[in-house]
Structure 1
Amino acid sequence: MWGGPVRSGVPAGGAVPKYYLAKIEIVGLVDELGEGAAVPSERELAARFGIARETVRQALQELLVEGRIRRRHGRATVVAGPKIVQPLSIESYTEGVRRQGRTPGRALVALESQPADPVQAGHLEIEPGAELLHLERILLSDDEPMGLESTFLPAARFPLLRTDFDPGTSLYAYIRGTGVTFHRATEHIETVLASPREADLLGTGPALPMLLLNRVSWDPQGRPIERVRSLFRGDRFSLVAELGG
């Protein structure tokens, strides 16, 4: 979307690592092949470009981390499609994915009650030990895992959620249906590595960089609605913000 790295990644001294030259060649090939096409094997790429397999392996690893290619379980490496672009705004994941012509989905991991610890209670302005509803789901796009979302809500405010809410649908649509209006939110963003459990749920390696978002949302009266921890795959997801001056 935005082109390649500045000045093609050439350092001031002019010396370019061999793996980076290989990466440039492979990127050109990937662009020619198109989304979903099989990427040639390390051996084939090494022979094609006249370089060592170790050099090819390092180049391919960078392209995996960047989301240009992806590995399917039991199948060859293939060219990846465009990343999901999610605006930094008060909208649901479902709305963001649908806007890009893809099919959103969610797989339920847990929907349970638990007592609020002091940190959660502080964010939601409830008493420590008060009942919380914890909803954890795998976020999907065209059936591909994109992220893992944990949402904490005061049980007293949403007493029917466990019986009336379909975990495969938009939580924001359900909340709005109860008469609660989202007004503002604070979101903290950082990069992290997935834990072994998170990597297992998302079907990725534990060394894959992730985008971690922690959000607290409020209604127009200033009452907290939710606390959300969202973990998105760095190779398949990007964020966009519109700024005004």
Structure 2
Amino acid sequence: MDSPQTTRVPKVFLVRTEIDLLLADLTEGDPVPSERDLATRFGVARETVRQALRELLVEGRIRRQGRGTVISRPKLTQPLSLRSYTEGAISLGRTPGRILVAWEDVAADAATATDLEVELGTEVMHLERVLLADGERVGLESTYLPLHRFATLRGTYDPTTSLYAAIRATGVELAGARERIETVLAAPREAGLLECTTALPMLLLHRRSVDADGAPIERVRSLYRGDRVAFEARLSPEPA
């Protein structure tokens, strides 16, 4: 077994370090040298460079553009809060948008019925939308609402705008939510809607929101591209 003094650092790590230094001098939209150029510069195989670039793609540092690669803009960092996606994006200087995929009434499955506190099979409103930031597809949001509470949205709501603003306009205020985050890979349909590959890591959020009386408002499944979106939370000490 190698001692700490003799352990060799993997080539891909050394190449990644050199590429990081190279990217530090570039700005958003600048072209990244090709795999061949980087392999020649660092004296390594193209596969070693390819692996380092794959890591940078997943991290969102670079992105494909045409047949080349360029520097990406920083990730959209969303706060974990009761703010809507629209509010969060605007606060970061980004332009939010949405593409409607589906808006329909569906029978509640077991998980949806439990979260919305309705009988199994009860019709609920389902809204599925692609989330945009500056015109780029960054997420896929699937929302379920109790139909008996929000049926009027059918005639008043523009699905390309903030749903939370529309809910508040009905007189309902979001008072709390439970949210879980995990990492997954996108299914082929989801990858197609988000214009990425199924190999790209995703951030999956499950949220259940309630009003001041504890009555359920929504059940949401949100899938975000790991190379385009990050989340942060403000933490404080718990009382002793």
The CA deviation at 1:49 is 2.0
Q: Which residue of 2 aligns with 1:112?
A: 104
**In structure 2, what is the Cα distance between the partners aligned to 1:160 and 1:57?**
52
**In structure 2, what is the Cα distance between the partners aligned to 1:55 and 1:118?**
47
Q: Which residue of 1 aligns with 2:208?
A: 216
The aligned amino acid for 2:22 is L
Deviation >2 Å, runs of 4+ = 11-15
Measured against aligned partners, the alpha-carbon deviations of 1:3-53 in whole angstroms (never above 9, x if no partner) come to: xxxxxxxx8865211011111111111121111111111111112222211
RMSD: 1.3
Which of 8, 11, 15 is the equivalent residue of 2:8? 15
Q: Which residue of 2 aligns with 1:162?
A: 154
> 1:83-232 to 2 correspondence within 5 Å?
83-232=75-224
Q: Check 1:88–1:13 CA distance in 2 against 1; reply closer, same or farther (3 A cut).
A: farther
- Farther-moved stretch of structure 1 (161-170 vs 187-196): 161-170
2:35 is the counterpart of 1:42? yes
Q: Which runs of 5+ in 2 are unaligned?
A: none
Q: Which residue of 2 aligns with 1:53?
A: 46
Identity of aligned residues (%): 61
**In structure 1, what is the Cα distance between the partners aligned to 2:80 and 2:5?**
35
Q: Which residue of 2 aligns with 1:65?
A: 58
The CA deviation at 1:59 is 0.6
Measured against aligned partners, the alpha-carbon deviations of 1:93-117 in whole angstroms (never above 9, x if no partner) come to: 0011101111011111111111111
The aligned amino acid for 2:34 is S
Instruction: Indicate if the aligned counterparts of 1:111 and 1:162 stay in contact, CA closer than 8 A.
Output: no
Q: Which runs of 5+ in 1 are unaligned?
A: 1-10
The CA deviation at 1:191 is 0.5
Q: Which residue of 2 aligns with 1:30?
A: 23
Measured against aligned partners, the alpha-carbon deviations of 1:134-183 in whole angstroms (never above 9, x if no partner) come to: 10001110001111000000111011222211011000000001000000
Using the size of structure 1 for normalisation, the TM-score is 0.92
Q: Which residue of 2 aligns with 1:4?
A: none
Measured against aligned partners, the alpha-carbon deviations of 1:68-87 in whole angstroms (never above 9, x if no partner) come to: 11113x34211111111111
Q: Which residue of 2 aligns with 1:7?
A: none
- Farther-moved stretch of structure 1 (214-223 vs 119-128): 119-128
**In structure 2, what is the Cα distance between the partners aligned to 1:12 and 1:193?**
38
**In structure 2, what is the Cα distance between the partners aligned to 1:138 and 1:14?**
47
- SS of residue paired to 1:27: helix
Using the size of structure 2 for normalisation, the TM-score is 0.94
